[in-house]
Amino acid sequence: SGDVVCLRAHNGRYLSVGAESVEASNAAGPASRFVVHLEHGAALAHRGVVYLESRSAGALLDADDAEDGLFARYADRGDWQRFAVEKLPRGCALPTPKNRPASRA
């Protein structure tokens, strides 16, 4: 808990907090830094719950089932702010900018 991370998607873009919502950016900057808060324990485990606090907005990331998208709006740690982290099955690899499938036009 308390570590600062940047989250990079399979396409090489970083999650960043914008003025209205969370968006993807080409470079990791101050808006793409998040403090990890663990719900339980001192180490992150498979299916562990984390809360991601935006360093730039001072609020936790949240997903609202009534609104489409991710946001950084509130400081509370409720169901909307909970993210479960899952470990990839053995033999699986996430696509990276170097090995992702070519986009189709």
Rounded CA separation 51/42 (Å): 14
Higher pLDDT, 53 or 87: 53
CB 1 within 8 A of CB 36: yes
Report whether pLDDT(57) > 50.
yes
pLDDT one-digit tens code per residue, 3-31: 999 999 888 899 999 988 899 999 999 99
38-59 mean pLDDT = 92
- Residue tagged 């993210």 (tokens): 83
Q: What number is the average pLDDT over the span 75-81?
A: 92
Residue whose pair of structure tokens reads 């509130």 in the numeric block: 74
| Residue (of 76, 88, 86) closest to 37 by Cα position | 76
Tell me what the mean pLDDT of segment 56-70 comes to.
90
